Chains A and B, each alone.
Chain A
Amino acid sequence: MIETENLGKTVPTSDGPLCILSSVSLAINSGESIAIVGASGSGKSTLLSLLAGLDTPSEGFTKIKGKNLTDMSEDGRAELRNQLVGFVFQSFQLLPGFTALENVMLPLELRGDKQASQSAAKLLNRVGLSHRLAHTPMKLSGGEQQRVALARAFVTEPTILFADEPTGNLDSKTGEHIIDLLFQLNREKNTTLILVTHDNALAARCQRTIKLEAGRML
């Protein structure tokens, strides 16, 4: 499903080039769940962004379903994201002016789906927020916001789901609940799950763990 070869990222700084990721080669199979772990600054989020095509590598390549992201334009990668990928973020990344329902509808609306409202409401119901459809993020608790984000990520039934520290902003109990929900949905939809975390318990629930240290895969 996903394949990388010698993936690396170097950024220019005032003290010269800084390598934040180097020589990452891996293969992820369809339906697999992977945890990327490591200390802060180890390059987890960078790897995630390169796997998801949010950023371009300085060296190496990423292939999703055999398509080389490095060869694609930004618009090409956007299209691929739209077709195959879902995201969950640590800071939820909900649109503040939109209601919970509208936030979940958005990816479907971008696809021109006429049933956006019904599908979004169904999924919000699935994550237990049927009573919060008309609420804006500000009126929702952190856990509720992340549930909305989960619903938004799964509403397009993506092939791959990327999650960046999905419980990072939540207390342990709420975090646990969210993770349960994430894995349930993952199973139901048979999604390939790639999540970045430094929570070992969460990593343990994944089929495989990739450990990073100072930008290198251990």
Chain B
Amino acid sequence: MNRFSLALRLLFRDGRSGELTILVLALIIAVTSSTAISLFADRLHRTMSTQAADFLAADLVITSSALIPQLWLAKAEALELKQARTAEFSTVLIENEELLLAGIKAVSKNYPLRGVLKTIESGDYNKQVIKHQGPAPGKAWLDKRVLSALKLQIGDSLIVGEKALVISQLISYEPDKRGDIYSLSPRVMINNADLKATQVLQPGSHVHYFFQFSGSEKTLAEFRSWVKPQLNESQRLMDIHEDRPELGNALSRAERYLGLSSIVVILIAGVAIAMSTRRYSERHFNATAILRCLGCKQSEILKLYIFQFIILGIAASAVGSLFGWFAQETLFHLLRDLLPAKVADPSFIAVILGFLTGLSILLGFALPPLLRLKKVSPLRVLRRELEPLPTSAWLVYGLALSLISVLIWQYTQDFKMTATIIGGGIVTTLIAGLILYALLIQARKLLPFVSLSWRFGLQGLLRNPRSTVSQTLAFSITLLAMILSYTIRTDLIDDWQNQLPKHAPNYFVLNVFPPQVEPFKQSLQRQRINNSRFYPVVRGRLVQINNVPVQQIVSKDSQGERATHRDLSLTWGTELPTDNKTIAGSWNPSLKGQVSIEQKLAKSLKITLGDSLTFTIGSQQLQATVSHIRSVQWDTMKPNFYMVFSPRTLAGYATTYITSFYLADEDKSLLNGLVRQYPSITVLEVDAMLKQFKTILTQLTAAINYLLYFALLAGFTVLFAAVNSSLDNRVYEGALMRTLGANRTLLRKSHLIEFSLLGLISGLIAVVMSELLLYIIYTYILHLNFQVNILLWVGMPLISTVCICLAGFFGVRSIANKSPMLVLREL
């Protein structure tokens, strides 16, 4: 306790004398940024997930082919989760001597728990009505196509099984319309209360129940972990990440960016802390020698400083957490117009995490320089030149590297990737350091041939090449972090915008029969509607892989398991969709019996090139060989397929066509004409989904922009602080030179040269390192295209030269403005 209170007093005295200012600032910046980002990311994630949950009509869904145990529902009720249920099944409707296979959906009272339904009362697509509940008992809502197919009108009676229902609305949008959207049976939505009376569902009937739940995150998580072990083979849990890949992708990329920003800021702050602790420790060599002289043991010295740093860490982390809290509140305030009216509450755990991160960064980056103080010899009181041995390089970099590795691992969840990034980082840093060291040694030969100001400037860098190398690398890492933050953000946003151009298709047209394709195309052309390709579709189910039934191969809950439980849309063509990329094999459309498979499905089903796949199409079986595996961009809003066959393979099977197109809001009435002209087609409106998707991306973009500004601000502040923390020697020498008669112009010039060189070299190294890391991150983490950025090669060294010059000039201004004697006394 004595030592602790002594440490407190020493800290107070140090703080009062201004020794801690830079260190405290760096720490506050680190904690503020990491708390703000983790709070912001957490809140945004939860807000976005809630918003995205609209597409699931709930936060969590259990799908089952039978009713789930009453106990589960009771558990959900006990946890105060809101519940709804839908039951989906197919049945044939017969009216006016017309037959139609319809997809019936019986919905309970609370459906949808998230999102809304939209209906059109008059059949006019321009007049949609938002509904928060499904049809009332006795009523039915239909797809418009059902009306035309069964020659019915709104207000007519529709018999589903044994129950007569009144057609009251045409349904135009249901949030949780799922599955293979190109071949949906036309929808008939009824109230759950009428389900029994239809008598369609008998024991053994093929039905999908969707038990939907919504509530607080905590209770949902509790329910999820309680129910998951009890699920049987035919039951599955769904949430937004796995069920809507197009949204999940955008969300997880944004989350990865948020994670990356957080690492970037931590890295920047870490560098600042390491530099300022180094300065702190160097400025405490004398004080430590005196303490040693006065009888302080080595262990006590370390204890005293560690206590001080713990107190400092707690205080600065507390202040940083508070600032972080306000910063994220400000961010949300700035984004209020873009975000939903209700955003998730900030989580206290995120604040605690920010606080703990602060302490860990302090420990990881500050401990090595502090350990050096332990080695200060008491003899230094007599011989000032005695410097303690540097702390082992393993320890200096090991601690910081471990910390950063843990963070990167947490963010990538991939050991190999973490090792690659860290390993790549170490190797690049080492190589850059060695080259720079060699260059500095060689540069000494230039000294006799340059002017006085250049000589002084160069000597500033050459005096202690090791220290110059470590300083340059520290600046480079800070700049590197800033480059990563900026470039990734820009490319991420560009990528999103490319994926969803202004006129991304917002309507899908399904069930176009082969003879209708040409006239339909012409109709679209006449209306000046640009459609995407017409893809032929044959419905078929994957049943065997290399003659082994798929059910024996797939694991439960996997994407493959779901894909084998339903009919897939199989297509063929000589060309693959343009955004698909070859992962393995080659696409040779001239060979019959070949199939190209989507990579994730292939991985999930353990399918490799050369495997033989058997499909059931109607009552027939078809075999094809996997000759190509490709990636698919699911979020392009264009038709996409798991299986693409070579032409002629699917010849002779019943085929329909699908396409997608963009229709502006004001042109929606054109749809009515099309539907009248081609009554058999199904028009699927994805406009609402697309708009919401775009809104989410806009929100994410804005959020990411603010995060970038935050990271850049932190970077510049830290760079400034870091330059300042390295100036003691320069100020001392500058003051000495002035006493020896050097004029201000000469000093300014030599400082300009020294800082410019420092900035230029740091900038160049940062660019090289960033290009290498960006290549790794783009290729393996964000899955974006990597391109060498020429602007970066020119811009970064320039910016870094200017910034480091400015910061350096500001730091050494006292040499020019004050009397040299005063400057020397202050040191």
Interface of A toward B, CB cutoff 8 Å: 45, 48-49, 54-55, 74-75, 78-83, 85, 87, 89, 91, 93, 95-99, 102, 106-107, 109-110, 112, 136, 138, 164
A95 CA / B298 CA spacing, docked (Å): 19
Question: Per-position contact with A for B299-312: 1 when CB-CB < 8 Å, else 0?
Answer: 11000000000000
> Which stretch from B44-52, B375-383, B509-517 is at the chain A interface?
B375-383
A82 CA / B290 CA spacing, docked (Å): 11
Question: Per-position contact with A for B372-394: 1 when CB-CB < 8 Å, else 0?
Answer: 00000111011110000000000
Given A93-B286, A138-B825, A79–B382 Cβ distance below 8 Å? no
| A83 partner residues in chain B, CB cutoff 8 A | 295
Within the complex, the shortest CB–CB distance from B551 to chain A, in Å, comes to 71
B193 at the interface (CB under 8 A from A): no
A89 CA / B6 CA spacing, docked (Å): 24
Given A87-B381, A138-B825, A93–B296 Cβ distance below 8 Å? no
Query: Once the chains bind, are A79 and B295 in contact (CB under 8 Å)?
Result: yes
State which residues 211-253 of B face A: CB under 8 Å: none
List the B residue with the shortest CB-CB distance to A91. Answer: B384
Interface residues on B, range: 20 to 34
B668 at the interface (CB under 8 A from A): no
| B14 partner residues in chain A, CB cutoff 8 A | 97
Given A97-B13, A102-B13, A54–B293 Cβ distance below 8 Å? yes
Query: Once the chains bind, are A110 and B6 in contact (CB under 8 Å)?
Result: yes
Query: Once the chains bind, are B286 and A78 in contact (CB under 8 Å)?
Result: no
Given A55-B379, A87-B381, A97-B13, A106–B294 Cβ distance below 8 Å? yes
Q: Which of A49, A55, A82, A110 has the most CB of B within 10 A?
A: A110
For B17, give its contact among A54, A89, A106, A136 (CB under 8 Å): A136
Within the complex, the shortest CB–CB distance from B743 to chain A, in Å, comes to 28
Query: Once the chains bind, are A54 and B294 in contact (CB under 8 Å)?
Result: no
Query: Once the chains bind, are B382 and A74 in contact (CB under 8 Å)?
Result: no
Query: Once the chains bind, are A81 and B295 in contact (CB under 8 Å)?
Result: yes
| B293 partner residues in chain A, CB cutoff 8 A | 54, 81, 87, 93
List the A residue with the shortest CB-CB distance to B297. Answer: A75
| A75 partner residues in chain B, CB cutoff 8 A | 297-299
| B381 partner residues in chain A, CB cutoff 8 A | 54, 87, 89, 93
State which residues 765-808 of B face A: CB under 8 Å: none
Query: Once the chains bind, are B382 and A49 in contact (CB under 8 Å)?
Result: yes
Query: Once the chains bind, are A97 and B6 in contact (CB under 8 Å)?
Result: no
Question: Per-position contact with A for B2-28: 1 when CB-CB < 8 Å, else 0?
Answer: 100010010001101111000000000
Query: Once the chains bind, are A54 and B382 in contact (CB under 8 Å)?
Result: yes
A96 CA / B19 CA spacing, docked (Å): 10
List the B residue with the shortest CB-CB distance to A196. Answer: B382
For A95, give its contact among B290, B378, B379 (CB under 8 Å): B290
A136 CA / B825 CA spacing, docked (Å): 13
Query: Once the chains bind, are A97 and B16 in contact (CB under 8 Å)?
Result: yes
A109 CA / B382 CA spacing, docked (Å): 23
| A55 partner residues in chain B, CB cutoff 8 A | 377, 379
Within the complex, the shortest CB–CB distance from B577 to chain A, in Å, comes to 69
> Could you list 26 A-B pairs, sorted by A, with CB under 8 Å?
A45-B383, A48-B382, A54-B293, A54-B382, A55-B379, A75-B297, A78-B292, A78-B378, A79-B295, A80-B295, A82-B295, A83-B295, A85-B295, A89-B381, A91-B384, A93-B290, A99-B13, A102-B9, A102-B13, A109-B6, A109-B9, A110-B291, A110-B295, A110-B300, A112-B6, A138-B826
Query: Once the chains bind, are B295 and A54 in contact (CB under 8 Å)?
Result: no
A45 CA / B379 CA spacing, docked (Å): 10
Query: Once the chains bind, are B382 and A45 in contact (CB under 8 Å)?
Result: yes
Within the complex, the shortest CB–CB distance from B324 to chain A, in Å, comes to 30
Given A95-B287, A136-B17, A138-B825, A164–B295 Cβ distance below 8 Å? no
A74 CA / B298 CA spacing, docked (Å): 8
Q: Which of B299, B300, B378, B384 has the most CB of A within 10 A?
A: B378
A79 CA / B378 CA spacing, docked (Å): 13
| A85 partner residues in chain B, CB cutoff 8 A | 295
- B interface SS class: helix
| B286 partner residues in chain A, CB cutoff 8 A | 93, 95
Interface of B toward A, CB cutoff 8 Å: 2, 6, 9, 13-14, 16-19, 286-287, 289-300, 377-379, 381-384, 825-826
| B291 partner residues in chain A, CB cutoff 8 A | 106, 110
Query: Once the chains bind, are B294 and A107 in contact (CB under 8 Å)?
Result: yes
| A74 partner residues in chain B, CB cutoff 8 A | 297-298
A139 CA / B378 CA spacing, docked (Å): 26
| B294 partner residues in chain A, CB cutoff 8 A | 81-82, 87, 106-107, 110
Within the complex, the shortest CB–CB distance from A165 to chain B, in Å, comes to 10
A79 CA / B289 CA spacing, docked (Å): 14
Within the complex, the shortest CB–CB distance from A167 to chain B, in Å, comes to 16
Within the complex, the shortest CB–CB distance from A118 to chain B, in Å, comes to 15
A99 CA / B296 CA spacing, docked (Å): 20
Within the complex, the shortest CB–CB distance from A187 to chain B, in Å, comes to 23
| A99 partner residues in chain B, CB cutoff 8 A | 13
| B292 partner residues in chain A, CB cutoff 8 A | 78
| A78 partner residues in chain B, CB cutoff 8 A | 292, 295-298, 378
A83 CA / B294 CA spacing, docked (Å): 9
Within the complex, the shortest CB–CB distance from B625 to chain A, in Å, comes to 76
Q: Which of A83, A98, A136, A138 has the most CB of B within 10 A?
A: A98
Within the complex, the shortest CB–CB distance from A150 to chain B, in Å, comes to 14
| B382 partner residues in chain A, CB cutoff 8 A | 45, 48-49, 54, 89, 164
Given A109-B6, A110-B6, A138-B825, A96–B295 Cβ distance below 8 Å? no
Within the complex, the shortest CB–CB distance from B376 to chain A, in Å, comes to 11
| B16 partner residues in chain A, CB cutoff 8 A | 97
Q: Which of B16, B297, B298 has the most CB of A within 10 A?
A: B297
A54 CA / B291 CA spacing, docked (Å): 12
| A93 partner residues in chain B, CB cutoff 8 A | 286, 289-290, 293, 381
A95 CA / B288 CA spacing, docked (Å): 10
Which 8 A/B pairs are nearest by Cβ-Cβ distance? A82-B295, A97-B17, A75-B297, A81-B295, A112-B2, A107-B294, A54-B378, A54-B379
A74 CA / B13 CA spacing, docked (Å): 27
A85 CA / B381 CA spacing, docked (Å): 14
For B296, give its contact among A82, A89, A95, A98 (CB under 8 Å): A82
Within the complex, the shortest CB–CB distance from B822 to chain A, in Å, comes to 10
A54 CA / B381 CA spacing, docked (Å): 9
Within the complex, the shortest CB–CB distance from B508 to chain A, in Å, comes to 73
A106 CA / B17 CA spacing, docked (Å): 16
| B13 partner residues in chain A, CB cutoff 8 A | 95, 97-99, 102
Given A48-B382, A54-B379, A109-B6, A79–B17 Cβ distance below 8 Å? no
Within the complex, the shortest CB–CB distance from A14 to chain B, in Å, comes to 16
| A91 partner residues in chain B, CB cutoff 8 A | 384
Within the complex, the shortest CB–CB distance from A73 to chain B, in Å, comes to 9
Within the complex, the shortest CB–CB distance from A43 to chain B, in Å, comes to 12
List the A residue with the shortest CB-CB distance to B378. Answer: A54
List the B residue with the shortest CB-CB distance to A107. Answer: B294
| A164 partner residues in chain B, CB cutoff 8 A | 382
A81 CA / B377 CA spacing, docked (Å): 14
A74 CA / B378 CA spacing, docked (Å): 10
A55 CA / B378 CA spacing, docked (Å): 8
List the B residue with the shortest CB-CB distance to A99. Answer: B13
A196 CA / B294 CA spacing, docked (Å): 19
Within the complex, the shortest CB–CB distance from A110 to chain B, in Å, comes to 6
A112 CA / B379 CA spacing, docked (Å): 24
A157 CA / B9 CA spacing, docked (Å): 23
A118 CA / B396 CA spacing, docked (Å): 42
A49 CA / B289 CA spacing, docked (Å): 13
A85 CA / B17 CA spacing, docked (Å): 29
Within the complex, the shortest CB–CB distance from B640 to chain A, in Å, comes to 67
A88 CA / B382 CA spacing, docked (Å): 10
Within the complex, the shortest CB–CB distance from B129 to chain A, in Å, comes to 73
A87 CA / B380 CA spacing, docked (Å): 13
List the B residue with the shortest CB-CB distance to A85. Answer: B295
A87 CA / B299 CA spacing, docked (Å): 22
A80 CA / B300 CA spacing, docked (Å): 15
Q: Supply 15 further A-B pairs (C-beta < 8 A) apart from A54-B293, A93-B381, A138-B825.
A: A45-B382, A55-B377, A55-B379, A75-B297, A78-B295, A81-B295, A82-B294, A91-B384, A93-B289, A93-B293, A95-B287, A97-B16, A97-B18, A97-B19, A102-B13
